[in-house]
Amino acid sequence: MKLTEALGLVSFKVPQGSNSERALARCHTVEDLRRLAARRLPGSVLDYIDGGADAEHSLAGNIEAFARRRFTPVVLADVSSPDTAATVLGRQAAAPLGFAPTGYTRMIRPDGERAVARAAAGAGLPYVLSTMATTALEDLVTDSAVDRWFQLYVWKDRAKTFELVRRAADAGYRVLEVAVDTAVPGNRLRDVRNGFTIPPRLTAGSLLDIGAKPGYWTKMLRAPGLEFANLSGGPAGAGYTIENIGAQFDPAVTWADLAQLRAAWPGKLLLKGPVGPADAVRARELGVDGVHLSNHGGRQLDRTVAPAELIAPVREAVGEDFAVVVDSGIRHGADIAIAIALGADLAMVGRPYLWALAAAGEPGVVRLAELLVGQFRRTMALLGVASTAELRRRGPQLLDQGARPAVSQVPVAGPIPART
């Protein structure tokens, strides 16, 4: 090759956009977003997102349950225009992807739940607001394009519980999820070791965090104070901290309580937790519309079976006219495809959108949705299926039914290996 020809191959581009925009443009995976978030967040806040219960076996197992699956594609199929749309509980989403409920989201970034809801609306995806949100459920009403769901914790104070149900109904939330895996708080050792509290307290450790990430703390100090915004009685959320809030959850909740909630809630109702086939059938018999299979991202009971492993047996037990949603361990669009092939209607992510929010705010969450939906679309095409409905229908033949270990290890995220 002549020197003039070689020089012709050289291309120089002047970087465009802000530093944040350029950094976000270099994010091509969920792990890229996490690495960018790690540059923005104090260590204790990153551990709050990343951490699980006890030895974090469930946390690693959730990811492994997807990573060990192997595809068996079909060939010579017209996949020129893959249709990622999915109908979930009577409403169409742009893809079988949603944003799961997470607590204290404004601690990650001041615009918190609002930013996530706007990104979800723009992507045509459902968003679930948590009881433990730092934005009141009524304050998302202005974002009318959002398919808004509400996750409910059952309180010892039943009047407070049913007040939340009424408020969600009055505010137009379409789906209510009743969380049933928080009889007591999980033992999240990273938070214990970090002395992490909500609201944060100034300690020697937190002062070191401030020194290490001044940009984060500057944003927090300029923003309105953090609180559990959905808990009324005096100033919203007043008096509740991460240490005492768990004592308000009722460990005596039974099927009778679920029946009362079914009677009180006018919309679609889901049971959220590590729900097995027998309990899913019982929920259906009570008039529940579906289950949200979750082990809280490995943050409650350690050594719990991965929700991905529950999809097929639950679907077989309840039949086709019952919604099956799954979260915990989804890090790629191929994981979404696996969930649908196993029998789920919708896959949800939590930690990934918190990393994206920390990395770049609302544009970060928009980027996450683009990545996951794009990966899902590519996976569909390479599997030889033209639509989400076809993927669901032909799912068993597209997955190798033999149990195989994953070839590579789960990517490291944080100080404990294989615990993203």
Q: How far apart are CA 271 and CA 59, in angstroms?
A: 21
Q: Using an 8 Å Cβ cutoff, are 181 and 275 in contact?
A: no
Q: How far apart are CA 136 and CA 230, in angstroms?
A: 5
Q: Is 296 a catalytic residue?
A: yes
Amino acid at 170: D
Nearest to 137 by CA among 123, 125, 152: 152
φ/ψ of 290, rounded to 5, equals 175, 180
Q: Tell me which of 57, 292, 296, 332 is the catalytic residue.
A: 296
Nearest 5°: CA angle at 196, between 194 and 198? 175
Which residues have a Cβ under 8 Å from the Cβ of 394 and sit 6 or more positions away? Answer: 74, 341, 385
Q: How far apart are CA 204 and CA 191, in angstroms?
A: 15
Q: For the chain, how many helices (H) and strands (E)?
A: 18, 10
- CA torsion sign for 85, 86, 87, 88 is negative
Amino acid at 186: G
DSSP 291-327: EEE--GGGTSSTTPPPHHHHHHHHHHHH-SSSEEEE-
Q: How far apart are CA 118 and CA 116, in angstroms?
A: 5
Catalytic residue numbers, as ranges? 296
